Amino acid sequence: MALSPEQQAEIDAARDSAHTTRRATVPALEEILYSAVPVLDHGFVRVIDYMGDDGAVVQAARVSYGRGTRKVREDAGLIAYLMRHRHSTPFEMCEIKYHVKLPIFVARQWIRHRTASVNEYSARYSVLDNEFYLPEPAQLAAQSSDNRQGRGNVLEGEEAAAVLDLLKRDAEQSWRDYAWMMNEPDETGLPPDSSRQGLARELARMNLNLGFYTQWYWKTDLHNLMHFLSLRADTHAQYEIRVYAEAMMDSLKRWVPLTHDAFLEHRLGAVQLSSRGIETVRRLIRGEAVDQAESGMSAREWRELMTLLERDGAA
């Protein structure tokens, strides 16, 4: 990730400024406020602003006037209870705003999480940077044979090199054509052709592929942030969005450490069983022999349960 001198100067100026406030602040999060955390080859995540902390969650749950004199252990217990029983409104009292630079195809996945306020860089008004995502060789994989939205074996040798070359060549050519259509300077720095007007930016942008980077401000509350992370920080999530979620997990830990611990324990590291799944577990504990057909579960749910329990396909 490379920031321009102007971008770095803006970040430095923001980090050098200080404000006196009576609102709750979190020193660990203040340490990284405005800083760009690198993600992928040209992307980043920055925390721009936040409101509330673990104390705000507890305060909302108890509807108290202040923080009181309760111990951290008691606050942690309450937050764990709220998480375990899926109480959402106390977590909605905290909000956070990120500045994210990400490939367009990742943004199109991300925007499916509709419970956030989003303002994206507009290619109608501005020219997109000549920056596009190229996967690391370890991420170049074939289509999975048993998962329509997953990856299989990693490509190797000449095939992997050919794919990378094609991705790079197509992106470079599409940006040259994009710049030419708008009559904007290309990567060579040649000035515009004064003999023609150039195509409008809002039309020229359609030539760029989904690997090019966009940027947005993404503001959400703590409850919906954790829902996003529970899906996108999961090992089954696509790698390119998962690495953003993992970077945001660090900011969650800094911001609300008690909530972060409860989230890992009761959400990210936990599973939800169906009523048939629970009954199957009870029967297995009693020593009964149970197979998939008899359990009433689908084949996929059965496999997931057996994997979770570290058992063979049947007892």
| Residues with catalytic roles | 232
In 3D space, the residue among 259, 228, 223, 260 whose CA is nearest the CA of residue 242 turns out to be 228
- β strands within the chain, DSSP E: 37-39, 43-51, 95-103, 117-120, 141-143, 151-154, 213-221
Q: In Å, how far are 101, 104, 127, 178, 314 from 173, measured between CA atoms?
A: 22, 17, 16, 8, 55
Q: Is 52 left (phi over 0), alpha (psi -120 to 50) or beta?
A: left
Q: In Å, how far are 263, 266, 270 from 84, measured between CA atoms?
A: 9, 6, 10
How would you write 16-46 as a 3-class SS string?
Answer: HCCCCCCCCCCHHHHCCCCCCEEECCCEEEE
Burial class (CB in 10 A: 0-12, 13-18, 19+), 98: buried
Q: In Å, how far are 123, 129, 180, 197, 204 from 201, measured between CA atoms?
A: 7, 13, 11, 12, 5
Diameter of the chain by CA atoms?
84
